[in-house]
Chain A
Amino acid sequence: MWSNRGAGLLAAAALLLALWQAAAWAARSTVLPGPVEVAPTLAHALFAGTLGQHLAISSYRVAVGIVLATGVALPLGLLVGHSPSLYRLSSPLVYLTYPVPKIVLLPVLLMFLGVGDASKVAILFLILFYQVLIVIRDAAHGVPSELVESVRSLGAGPLALLRYVFLPVSAPALLSALRISVGTAIAVLFFVESFGTTSGLGFYILVEGWGRLAYREMYAGVVTMALLGMALYFALELLERRTCRWVKVS
């Protein structure tokens, strides 16, 4: 099954590269170099140039955003989901603030946190935090009381309940929420790295590439950012498959 899927993915990647190359040949323009031209630039920029550093900085920002959002939203979601009164109290608040596109808060964050890493991580945090909070809250809320009571009757205290009931029930919800929202997070990262900064993939693509008419470098940056998104998506999917085998069989 894996080899089939792997072969399918390879074929799809080859098809996309071929389409890109065909488009490049058809356009005959410096604005659209094909993968054949971009690949050497990518390799050079990554290993000899500065692209590697920009990738590291962007990855760092995303990673800190994920860790912070999970670290805050997971306990909070479990608490709110487990307590009927907190659930009732917080529901209208979440309902009202959830649809607000978090990116519009960027100017506010920039004013308070400055243009450095803090504001960038904060905006990623906000986007991921809400997704995680809601799914964890609902997962905890949906645990049948019979399950909780029967585990309590085995002698489980609050810590054992957390370990054997609430954390396992949250794992699939957490991982799929992260997997779905990490794409949005990277899109937003691109945007916030496009001004007021001198580091990150967004800066590399827009300033070092596009701004200097260095189109090959620009495409190298685009490919790197796409690969970063894919790597995170696949890593989360793999983790989900490892830890949540029971979801598949039920």
Chain B
Amino acid sequence: MKINRRKLNVWAYDISAAVILFIFILPALWIVFTAFRPANEINVTPPIWIPRQLTLDAFASLFGLNPDVAAGVPVKEYMRNSLTVAVIATIISVSFGTMAGYAFSRFHFKGHTMLFLLIMLSRSVPGIALGFPLFLLMRNYGLVDTRTGLAFVYIAINIPFTAWLMDGFFRQIPKELDEAAYIDGCNHWTAFWRIDLPLALPGMSAAAIFAFLAAWNEYQIASLITKTPASKTFPVGLYDFTTQFTVDWRGMTAMSVLMIIPAIVFVILTQRRLTEGLTFGALKG
């Protein structure tokens, strides 16, 4: 009797979790479905839940491959800008953030807590508040509406989170390894470079993916300092589908799918590492 009840309970947990999560991801599924629907299935009453027909039409017109529809949105330029800016910012911010994270995790120095806080607090400045002076200053240096200007911004705003994550990852590497390295004649640089950095590579890849996504998805500052397809990124470009009175929902969902493709790959690859880095030291470690 008792065993049966326990079995029943286990089933109840599994099924209710599955149902709740399914409802939870419905909004996301709806966007993806819509991108692959024929135009006559969109926004009809009553709603058509399961697409009866799948088509790549929306993507074809997005890339200007559909001769009937004029290509209004410069998707290729947006993709180029988004990729360039996000990749450059990721490489540099992860390098800087990893170095800082290592310093915070391994050394005990004057101003340790204060410098850590200073770096973290820089991330809590709302993008819109930072965007105003950045726009005014960048005008003086000809950086408005350039990919370089945007990449600079994303380097700085990605450092804090990277440093925090890497601090967590370095703490997981036993200190005895460093001590052994010192005895073998390593100095701090070589111990960092040859011992700790290789061991922290999986963590670094998680931090890199996170930094990439933050740059890839950023809207507030990009909306202020990008103006034309020369530097506009996907999040800003989404607005091209809206006019004053109408929205091209189908084109918008197709571009959304393009935007989430790298995210899907990255999130699936790194979810476990991300939590490890953030929660290390919270309990037993």
Chains A and B bind each other: no
